[in-house]
Amino acid sequence: MNELLQKMMSRESVKVTSPLLPPLDDFIESLRNIWDCKWITNNGHYHRQLEQALAEYLKVPYISLFTNGTLPLLTALQALDIKGEVITTPYSFVATTHSIWWNGCQPVFVDIEEETCGIDPDKIEAAITPQTTAIMPVHCYGQPVQMKRIQEIADKHGLKVIYDAAHAFGVEVDGESVLNAGDVSTLSFHATKVYNTLEGGAIIMHDAETKKRIDYLKNFGFAGETEVVAPGINSKVDEVRCAYGLLNLKQVNAAIAHRRKVAEKYCEALRGVPGIRFFEDTPGVRHNYSYFPIFVDAQKYGMTRDELYYRMQEQGIYGRRYFYPLISTFSPYRELESAHPKNLPVATRMAEEVICLPMHHELSDSDVQKVIECIVYSKRLND
């Protein structure tokens, strides 16, 4: 184990995230039930229970579970028969754009807006060509994008909208789940997310017919014992993770409540620090506090993002430069015309300034205070 990893794993370090784990005794009891019935995959008891429970919790009509958060993106594009060009953001995790590429489509990058780090609706129409068939926005950090404007543009030009909502578990605007926007939305239940099933994911859709097609596609295209209706893949989730997910669903509200308190402490302490920007709560939005990104203006703060990032590490505080670098700078994409930095000034700047601070349900008051003092004191050293 290298020295950095050893420091990150130490009890004294403040980690950027920590997985939400169900009570071990309860999970063992669920495992006993699975062992007794010997049904461990293929739409078992816990799988059906979790789909129903999540649909109710998330206030969505239909949901289909997957074994990770990338396969829902791949399958959504297949289910909607997306071809040609897909307009999306460079400021995301690579799975967003990789899913487009793996479906034989070309990603077209447009810039983001500073207020949400989401795709800028003002930039979308200029990127539409006769080959454009869809828009794939991302609710980055769980901050809702301008869904109404995006839908108006999509309707005007006859485009599908697939939301990468990996960060947006439980996020609502005026009481309505953001997952109900667009044609479909996808979720990630990775261990680093607010809600996790170890690994996992889901697609949210509006009607039973779309759910049926997606359920076929995630099970090799089988519509029955002897009939295959599409060239599907195997992306089913097993009973073990569904049982784990059901237990985690019982405690996710408490975890979000703790995250909210951490966010409030960060906001109160950092609001007056020159050169440090962050997202405030938006009126009418039920946030999930999945991340707490700050953006470091080196000229005003007196230190670059990377200088602060490494100073934090020296003090045992492990943030994350998320998202950095931009997807558009990676070798599979950088030759695309839309990937040129001149077309993406806001995304480029945000990627150079961002640090996601430690944010999870296990942070103690002393952990939070340590993070705050590091940022505030580093600024004072440079005054």
Task: Examine the domain organization and report whether 238 and 336 are in the same domain.
Answer: no
Predicted model pTM: 0.95
Q: How many Å apart are CA 203 and CA 165, to the nearest integer?
A: 9
Round to whole Å and give the CA distance between 337 and 126.
14
How far apart (Å, rounded) are the C-alpha atoms in residues 136 and 2? 38
305-352, pLDDT tens digit by residue? Answer: 999 999 999 999 999 999 999 999 999 999 999 999 999 999 999 999
The 3-state secondary structure of 225-251, one letter per residue: CCCECCCCCECCCCHHHHHHHHHHHCC
Residues 150, 259, single domain; the answer is: no
Give me the CATH number covering residue 335.
3.90.1150.10
Residues 31 and 125 in one domain: yes
* Structural domain boundaries enclosing 90: 24-249
Q: What is the CATH number of the domain that holds 179?
A: 3.40.640.10
Split at pLDDT 50, 70, 90, the class of 8 is very low
If 0-12 CB within 10 Å is exposed, 13-18 middle and 19+ buried, where does residue 298 land?
A: middle
Predicted local confidence at residue 383, as pLDDT: 62
Asked if 65 and 191 sit in the same domain, the reply is: yes
Instruction: Say yes or no to pLDDT of 107 above 80.
Output: yes
Number of domains composing the chain: 2
The pLDDT tens digits for 191-202 are: 999 999 999 999
Domain check: are 118 and 210 in the same one?
yes
Nearest Cα residue to 278 out of 116, 52, 76, 157: 116
Percent of the chain exceeding pLDDT 90 equals 95
Residues 145-168: tens digit of each pLDDT = 999 999 999 999 999 999 999 999
**214 and 258 both lie in a single domain:** no
Q: What is d(CA 102, CA 106) in angstroms, rounded to the nearest whole number?
A: 9
Task: Give the model's pLDDT for residue 6.
Answer: 54
Q: Among the three residues 249, 265, 286, which one is the final residue of a domain in this structure?
A: 249
pLDDT confidence of 12, banded at 50, 70, 90?
confident
C-alpha gyration radius of the chain: 21
Q: Are residues 208 and 114 in the same domain?
A: yes
Average pLDDT of the segment spanning 132-142: 98
Choose one of 249, 278, 304: the last residue of a domain: 249
Considering the domain architecture, whether residues 157 and 283 belong to the same structural domain is answered as: no
- Does residue 271 share a domain with residue 156? no
Question: What pLDDT, on a 0 to 100 scale, did the predictor assign at position 219?
Answer: 97
Of the residues 249, 269, 304, which one is the last residue of a structural domain?
249
Contact between 64 and 202 under an 8 Å Cβ cutoff? The reply is yes
Each residue of 34-49: pLDDT tens digit? 999 999 999 999 999 9
